[in-house]
Structure 1
């Protein structure tokens, strides 16, 4: 008989008798800005110049019970979003990440989401994908190119994203290439860009699309931003091949980890997205070490994840913490 999870004070803490929950972390980053400079990391390169596999493993040991870390997906660290004279070697990032994680792969299998410039011609993209596959030892499962651009708000424009890439004709061609290669696409764009994204992605039903970071709802924006986010997430949820990462909650409501009122607001956002997509298409993710630099510990972050999912059945929580990630990205070796 499955033991029930009795909450203590409704705060994400559990009794020792409860069953452990396996965790796949589908969104974390690593870098070494000393050996491999990355101008796009900005202040992060000074604040945390190195975040290695050892650093990540140490942080993941702080997971609160009943979670235990099983596997993960490394997501590219905006390596390609640079002017040509400064662009880091995108293949080298894949190679370096895998060299970091290979030693613990038997205990903690991993896969890689690499950078690909979705505005370039598809023959070059195909060539670079092949190089990513070789560099990763066949651990490549998908691609991300950050698309966040806003014509007026610099806070909503990522480094060197100087236009709405979703309108570039090569974007559609490269998305088709990903679908043909059975690779996933991590979607990172602002709410006002979602209609352009949906217009392209609806034509590729066999492509797994993983929406990053709650769909980039941003704290402090006006009602128009909130409306565009709600409408956009509804339209993306209508596509059966989409998934959403319940991650980077501080971007949506800063202070969630220490202010119970703000934490409650984020909890409602999480529940709204679960209602839209279903637990079988939602996944919690750490976004480490980005969230770490916001002063959010792994313990605090995952206690909130546990709290926000505390009223859900075992199967739903298994999806949120592990199974959806595997469903979205495929088996992790």
Structure 2
């Protein structure tokens, strides 16, 4: 099914480490060549702006997008969000954005108040991906799900009507599901297909069982994104079983497409990403309405793009 799709890209990044006109002060993007869990980031450690992002697709219609924070070490993360907000006013991209907050910080309430002054701000992301015996692929040294202050301050999202973007590993999913079950009023979306880093038979079973627990929470959603982070040579065929399980567990109405650009630009062209996910959705038996939901309507609804 290779037809032009209207896309609201639910997960991408823009950044300006070379020029940094507003003094954001990027950290990992300035640390040229330092390896990341997804590999060597050198080719993307440069300015990646709205004009380049909007030109990535040669065949599909980028009708909107959600910008997701890109660096948890930025001294003042609201500066990144303010810069993103200025871009949306100039380029109509992104349509809304998700900012970083360290929920263990005493500054969390003040940061949230500042974020709420930005009309396009919709939610928070703090990456919690960590495996005790796999430091080389862990994104943090802290197990946030067991951190008392983190757990307490997570509840602050309720008062501001904010969602939470969640990047985690399958081993963390049971604890995450138990915690998020206590906060049904905070919409959660799992980034990057639940990080299927181990695609062996046993790894897939562990991933599926964890996702099954999260999928039982009606306020939990998931993104078909970031496939290149765990398999640089991925194809539609290699992710078909992953997509099938996600659609079975969550239902198409709680699934949304995301490119994870420019990170996944390291691995695959934008239209390859779109076409491959579209092929998988078609092979899984989704009808036209469900596919439109995955590629645009679900993100539009989840991130409240029709109202502030």
Q: Classify 1:274/1:222 alpha carbon distance in 2 versus 1 (closer, same or farther; 3 Å).
A: closer
Aligned position for 1:69: 62
1:88 maps to which of 75, 80, 92: 75
Which has the higher mean CA deviation after the structures are superposed, 278-287 or 89-98?
89-98
| Runs of 5+ unmatched residues, structure 1 | 1-11, 15-19, 258-262
* Structure 1 residue 264 displacement after superposition: 1.5
What is the alpha-carbon distance in structure 2 between the residues aligned to residue 46 and residue 253 of structure 1?
A: 18
Larger of the two Rg values belongs to structure: 1
Match of residue 142 from structure 1: 123
3-state SS of paired residue (2:105): coil
- Is contact 1:205–1:241 with CA below 8 Å preserved after alignment? yes
TM-score (norm 2): 0.88
- The separation in 2 between residues aligned to 1:219 and 1:55, in whole angstroms, is 32
Q: How many residue pairs end up in the alignment?
A: 292
- Name the counterpart of 2:242: 269
- TM-score scaled to structure 1, two decimals? 0.82
What is the distance in 2 between the residues matched to 1:59 and 1:133? 31
Aligned to 1:133: 116
Residues 114 and 144, structure 1, Cα contact 8 Å, conserved in 2: yes
Return the match for 1:233 from 211, 215, 224: 211
The yes-or-no answer on 1:114 pairing with 2:89 is: no
**What 5-or-longer segments of structure 2 have no aligned partner?**
34-39
Query: Do 1:74 and 1:111's aligned partners in 2 also have CA atoms closer than 8 Å?
Result: yes
CA distance in 2, matches of 1:139, 1:13: 32
Quote the Cα distance in structure 2 between the aligned partners of 1:309 and 1:154. 34
Match of 1:300 in 2: 272
- 4+ residue segments displaced more than 3 Å: 41-46, 219-222, 251-254
Do the aligned residues in 2 keep the contact of 1:156 with 1:190 (CA within 8 Å)?
no
- For residues 13 and 221 of structure 1, the distance between their equivalents in structure 2, rounded to whole angstroms, comes to 30
